[in-house]
């Protein structure tokens, strides 16, 4: 603790008045230094901490990545399963997964901040978390720049703004470079396949749709509802996308073969099949709304550029 001293005397002598004003100024500075920290989370709720968080629990893998990138790794005391990046996150005590949280374990870890995945954690368990009266920050980045905004806000809550702001700036630079390089290139129509049974995709409100646009692509099912709509094979055939993209563990090469992609080869007339534009990207890079999505975006941009290169020249 830093102690200040400004001797005071009951006097109107200018020197004594100056000392009084010094004490008032230092008192105000101390109050400012310990002022509450207030941010707005992704649900629109206000989150207020009396001081920077010192014991933080992450309830989603992307949240874990955001917290580490924001400079909060040393303050983390727990995380859910699959929180595997950066590597040191694997050593954190586990508090369940996105389907079932270990509330007793969470309480035992004595967190002063819990960062929650707004749509990934079960509502019933979130209601029980609220009953613990531990500050909750809901994380649900929807657009590419939301990742940078999240870093900045988490940095404020953690008291690590210098690190968080630098990470946000570096991330924005990465995205800006990709936008300059790819966004204005000839459009490639894209079907992003989330799951094959049932066949599911993502609409235009999802961050991956932002990534597709960043790369000069067009999500063929952007207008559908809800966020993760189910579609039919017939709908995909009618949309006739030039590229089909999916996520798979470690699938970072465009020539990776996967059963869920190979199924489309039964329709050789489909544009994506005819040109062999069936791409798989590492799901950790493309699905998690965290700084590494810039890496996933780079891979997708390269894939769509490959699709452009495979276009047959028009007849004269």
Phi-psi region for residue 309, left (φ > 0), alpha (ψ -120 to 50) or beta?
alpha
- For residue 226, cis peptide bond before it (omega within 30 degrees of 0): yes
- For residue 86, cis peptide bond before it (omega within 30 degrees of 0): yes
- Looking at residue 257, its pLDDT comes to 59
What whole-number distance in Å separates Cα of residue 50 and Cα of residue 35?
Answer: 7
Of the three residues 146, 171, 196, the one that is the final residue of a domain is: 171
Question: Residue 135 is part of a domain; what is its CATH number?
Answer: 3.40.50.1980
CA distances, 275 to each of 55, 182, 215 (Å): 52, 20, 19
- Looking at residue 213, its pLDDT comes to 98
Contact status, residue 132 vs residue 116, Cβ threshold 8 Å = no
- Looking at residue 128, its pLDDT comes to 85
Q: How would you label 230-246 residue by residue, b for 16+ Cβ within 10 Å and e otherwise?
A: ebeeebbeebebbbbbb
How many helices and strands in the chain, by DSSP H and E?
A: 12, 12
What whole-number distance in Å separates Cα of residue 207 and Cα of residue 286?
Answer: 9
Q: Could you give the number of structural domains in the chain?
A: 2
Say if residue 58 is in the same domain as residue 140: yes
- Looking at residue 129, its pLDDT comes to 87
Name beta bridge partners: 101: 96
Say if residue 205 is in the same domain as residue 276: yes
Domain housing 73: 37-171
- Looking at residue 280, its pLDDT comes to 93
Establish if 198 belongs to a structural domain: yes
Token pair 């029980």: residue: 128
- Looking at residue 68, its pLDDT comes to 98
What whole-number distance in Å separates Cα of residue 40 and Cα of residue 47?
Answer: 6
User: How many angstroms separate the first and last alpha carbons of the chain?
Assistant: 80
Establish if 129 belongs to a structural domain: yes
> Which residue blocks in 160-292 are alpha helix, DSSP H?
161-182, 207-214, 233-239, 259-262, 271-274, 283-286
- Looking at residue 190, its pLDDT comes to 98
Of the three residues 171, 194, 211, the one that is the final residue of a domain is: 171
What whole-number distance in Å separates Cα of residue 201 and Cα of residue 154?
Answer: 30
What whole-number distance in Å separates Cα of residue 211 and Cα of residue 266?
Answer: 28
At 203-228, the pLDDT tens digits run 999 999 999 999 999 999 999 999 99
Say if residue 198 is in the same domain as residue 120: no
- Looking at residue 250, its pLDDT comes to 66
- Looking at residue 293, its pLDDT comes to 98
At 136-172, the pLDDT tens digits run 999 999 999 999 999 999 999 999 999 999 999 999 9
Regions of the chain short of the pLDDT cut 70: 1-34, 120-121, 250-257, 314-316
- Looking at residue 65, its pLDDT comes to 98
């Amino acid at each position: 603790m830093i102690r200040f001293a400004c001797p005071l005397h009951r006097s109107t002598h200018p020197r004594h008045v100056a000392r009084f004003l010094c004490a008032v100024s230092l008192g105000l500075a101390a109050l400012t230094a310990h002022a509450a920290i207030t941010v707005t989370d992704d649900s629109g709720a206000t989150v207020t901490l009396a001081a920077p968080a010192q014991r933080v629990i992450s309830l989603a893998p992307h949240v874990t990545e955001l917290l580490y990138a924001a400079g909060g790794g040393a303050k983390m005391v727990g995380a859910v399963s699959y929180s595997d990046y950066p590597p040191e996150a694997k050593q954190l005590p586990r508090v369940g997964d996105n389907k079932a949280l270990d509330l007793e374990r969470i309480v035992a870890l004595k967190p002063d901040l819990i960062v929650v995945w707004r749509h990934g954690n079960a509502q019933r368990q979130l209601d029980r978390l609220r009953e613990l009266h531990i500050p909750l920050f809901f994380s649900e980045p929807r657009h590419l720049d939301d990742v940078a905004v999240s870093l900045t806000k988490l940095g404020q809550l953690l008291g690590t703004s210098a690190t968080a702001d630098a990470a946000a700036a570096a991330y924005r630079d990465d995205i800006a470079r990709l936008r300059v390089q790819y966004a204005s290139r000839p459009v490639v129509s894209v079907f992003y396949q989330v799951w094959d049974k049932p066949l599911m995709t993502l609409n235009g409100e999802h961050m991956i749709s932002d990534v597709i646009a960043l790369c000069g692509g067009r999500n063929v099912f952007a207008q559908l509802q809800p966020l993760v709509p189910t579609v039919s094979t017939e709908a995909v055939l009618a949309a006739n996308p030039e590229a089909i993209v999916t996520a798979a563990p470690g699938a970072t090469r465009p020539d990776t073969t996967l059963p869920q992609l190979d199924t489309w080869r039964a329709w050789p007339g489909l544009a994506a099949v005819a040109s062999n534009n069936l791409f798989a990207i590492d799901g950790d890079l493309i699905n998690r709304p965290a700084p590494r999505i810039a890496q996933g975006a780079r891979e997708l941009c390269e894939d769509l550029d490959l699709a452009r290169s495979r276009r047959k020249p028009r007849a004269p």
